[in-house]
């Protein structure tokens, strides 16, 4: 037996594993369904990040159900199945969201511990801000006071300058009333467009595995088992009038015969299987909506209607332009000699285009206050410092899931819906734990969401009309030439997917609330012995790519767990 069993060696799970084993007397076992990340080149070389998924051996290879509001398209829905989880396969954009996100979380849960005021200290614990791969002078590209320099995970500014950098900055100057420059969105103030910060150090990916696990790996009290798929939580009686859980059932998948094994925790089980894995395990264990469980023939242990519900996502739409010259990085995507020389450069000294993430600039923007939608729909953003949509600016064809055409040069402004009001769900498709659950994010199912993403696409057109792009952009590519609302809606429906940021499927609410899956201390409602620590506990999606908020939740969760020891 162990003091703690952590389910999932992902983004959050490895933070908790590291923090709990700081005490040499505490024995921790982490069970991870996926493989080791050692020597897996696509997850090490930053620019190759997008090739780590979908449909690879380190992806769960999920697919969303056909999306009614996206021309009934189903599309791949990657999740990392590897040490580090999604932090090992993601695109490495790194920040924490708006201070409003945390203050709303504190208000909604009645726990001031989640407020921005309190959570900022975890940035110091988590972050090790390091120089970019090319060692350029970063003055004016970030605000040092907002960062940590002695934490665990390496974070850096873009490590390879791009031909379009000057054009973006010139646009921010020319159109500053609509697109102001943000000197640093890494610390709560996210509005405006500025330099991207990424989980990269020394030109290589910094994941929860290469940071939190590597940092703790030599501790004799930390045990990590890979190829171990957890299939059920095991109850062991009643405590304080609630069902108590003391163990988990898992199956090793690298053995010829798959037999279930059991392991027990004397203190707690920490469920960190992510926004898809966590509700799946809860449902398989009889924790969820009784009606759904009964329909599957699963005896209900805890009837909780919220498990797997309230799923929220950032909808992504690539807006692609055809461009002139040789500044774009499309040749890297096509393989060939540019990729060969770039790989040689990266191998030699971890610099060059491959040492960088997919973007040098991104930013968060609000709809104008007098937008017509606000006559009928209340503003769903988490507060005035929060956004409705995002721009991610890429110097190449950035269209997840659709390969770059054989010829042509491209520039992409990805738009993402940041304050969605649509809610989806994760449900069991089968009682077989090795079968993927049903994942339906119900994207763009509300009038607000369709309005906001349409306005975001229109904003890209105004951005691209600045004088800096006149000698660069030839024409919008494909359906990006849409001009009327109907045409823009069709463009969105045909291309939209997600930024792969699911949250909310094990929502945190006030103790005693009529809905929700965990209390503000992350303990499973109605149970003893289980805590949930991953992105699934966020009730409202933060104004961020979700690894940063996940790291902060996991850092505070570790303190909450330690406080109960």
Contact positions toward ligand FAD, by CB under 6 A? 7-13, 31-34, 53, 78-81, 85-87, 89-94, 229-230, 272-275, 277, 281, 500-501, 534-535, 545-548, 550
Instruction: Produce one character per residue of 261-296: b if its CB has 16 or more CB atoms within 10 Å, e if not.
Output: eebebebbbbbbbbbbbbbbbbbbbbbbbeebbeee
Minimum CB separation from ligand FAD for residue 357, in Å? 7
Helix/strand/coil for 484: coil
Minimum CB separation from ligand FAD for residue 339, in Å? 20
User: Helices 99-109 and 116-126, interaxial angle, to 10°?
Assistant: 120
For the record, the structure tokens of 463 come out as 């951005």
For ligand FAD, the closer CB: 81 or 350? 81
For ligand FAD, the closer CB: 449 or 534? 534
CA 285 – CA 305 distance, rounded (Å): 14
Minimum CB separation from ligand FAD for residue 34, in Å? 4
For ligand FAD, the closer CB: 80 or 246? 80
Minimum CB separation from ligand FAD for residue 138, in Å? 20
Other C-beta atoms lying within 10 Å of the C-beta of residue 68: 13
Minimum CB separation from ligand FAD for residue 474, in Å? 29
For ligand FAD, the closer CB: 92 or 367? 92
Helix/strand/coil for 563: helix
CA 186 – CA 78 distance, rounded (Å): 25
Measured in whole angstroms, the distance separating CA 312 from the mean position of its chain's CA atoms is 12
For ligand FAD, the closer CB: 323 or 522? 522
For ligand FAD, the closer CB: 314 or 454? 314
Minimum CB separation from ligand FAD for residue 238, in Å? 25
Which residues are bridge partners to 21 per DSSP? none
CA 366 – CA 99 distance, rounded (Å): 15
For ligand FAD, the closer CB: 12 or 482? 12
Which residues are bridge partners to 245 per DSSP? 235
Measured between its terminal Cα atoms, the distance across the chain in Å is 17
Phi and psi (nearest 5°) for 110? 70, 25
Minimum CB separation from ligand FAD for residue 423, in Å? 17
Which residues are bridge partners to 195 per DSSP? 361
């Amino acid at each position: 037996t162990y003091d703690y069993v952590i389910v999932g060696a992902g983004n959050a799970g490895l933070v908790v594993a590291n923090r709990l084993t700081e005490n040499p007397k505490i024995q921790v076992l982490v069970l991870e369904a996926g493989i080791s990340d050692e020597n897996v080149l696509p997850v090490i070389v930053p620019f190759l990040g997008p090739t780590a998924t979908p449909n690879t051996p380190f992806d769960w290879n999920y697919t969303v159900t056909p999306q009614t509001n996206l021309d009934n398209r189903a599309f791949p829905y990657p999740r990392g199945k590897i040490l580090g989880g999604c932090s090992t396969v993601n695109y490495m954009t790194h920040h924490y969201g708006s201070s409003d996100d945390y203050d709303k979380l504190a208000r909604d849960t009645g726990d001031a511990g989640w407020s921005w005021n309190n959570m900022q200290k975890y940035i110091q614990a988590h972050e090790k801000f390091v120089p970019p791969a090319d060692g350029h002078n970063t003055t004016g590209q970030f605000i040092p006071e907002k960062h940590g320099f002695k934490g665990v995970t390496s974070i850096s500014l873009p490590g390879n300058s791009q031909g379009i950098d000057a054009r973006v900055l010139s646009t921010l100057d020319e159109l500053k009333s609509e697109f102001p420059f943000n000197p640093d969105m890494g610390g709560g103030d996210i509005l405006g467009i500025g330099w991207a910060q990424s989980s990269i150090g020394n030109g290589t990916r910094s994941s929860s595995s290469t940071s939190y696990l590597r940092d703790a790996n030599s501790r004799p009290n930390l045990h990590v088992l890979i190829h171990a798929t957890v299939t059920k939580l095991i109850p062991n009686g009643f405590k304080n009038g609630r069902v108590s859980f003391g163990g988990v059932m898992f199956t090793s998948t690298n053995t010829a015969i798959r037999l279930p094994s059991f392991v027990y925790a004397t203190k707690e089980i920490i469920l960190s299987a992510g926004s898809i894995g966590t509700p799946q395990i809860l449902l398989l264990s009889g924790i969820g909506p009784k009606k759904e469980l009964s329909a599957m023939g699963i005896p209900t242990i805890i009837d909780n209607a919220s498990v797997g519900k309230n799923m929220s996502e950032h909808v992504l739409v690539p807006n692609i332009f055809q461009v002139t010259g040789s500044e774009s990085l499309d040749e890297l995507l096509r393989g060939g000699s540019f990729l060969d020389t770039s790989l040689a450069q990266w191998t030699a000294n971890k610099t060059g285009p491959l040492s960088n993430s997919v973007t040098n600039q991104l930013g968060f923007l609000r709809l104008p206050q007098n937008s017509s939608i606000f006559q009928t729909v209340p503003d769903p953003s988490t507060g005035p410092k929060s956004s409705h949509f995002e721009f991610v600016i890429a110097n190449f064809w950035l269209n997840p899931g659709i390969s770059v055409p054989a010829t042509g040069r491209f520039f992409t402004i990805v738009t993402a819906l940041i304050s969605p009001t649509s809610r989806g769900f994760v449900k069991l498709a089968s009682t077989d734990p090795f079968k993927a659950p049903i994942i339906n994010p119900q994207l763009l199912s509300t009038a607000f969401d369709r309005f906001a993403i349409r306005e975001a696409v229109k904003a890209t057109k105004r951005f691209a009309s600045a004088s800096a792009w006149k000698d660069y952009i030839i024409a919008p590519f494909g359906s990006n030439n849409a001009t009327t609302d109907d045409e823009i809606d069709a463009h969105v429906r045909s291309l939209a997917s997600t930024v792969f940021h699911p949250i909310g499927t094990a929502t945190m609410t006030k103790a005693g609330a009529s809905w929700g899956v965990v209390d503000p201390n992350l303990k499973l409602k109605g149970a003893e012995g289980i805590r949930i620590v991953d992105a699934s506990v966020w009730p409202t999606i933060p104004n961020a790519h979700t690894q940063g908020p996940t790291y902060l939740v996991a850092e505070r969760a570790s303190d909450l767990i330690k406080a109960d020891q």
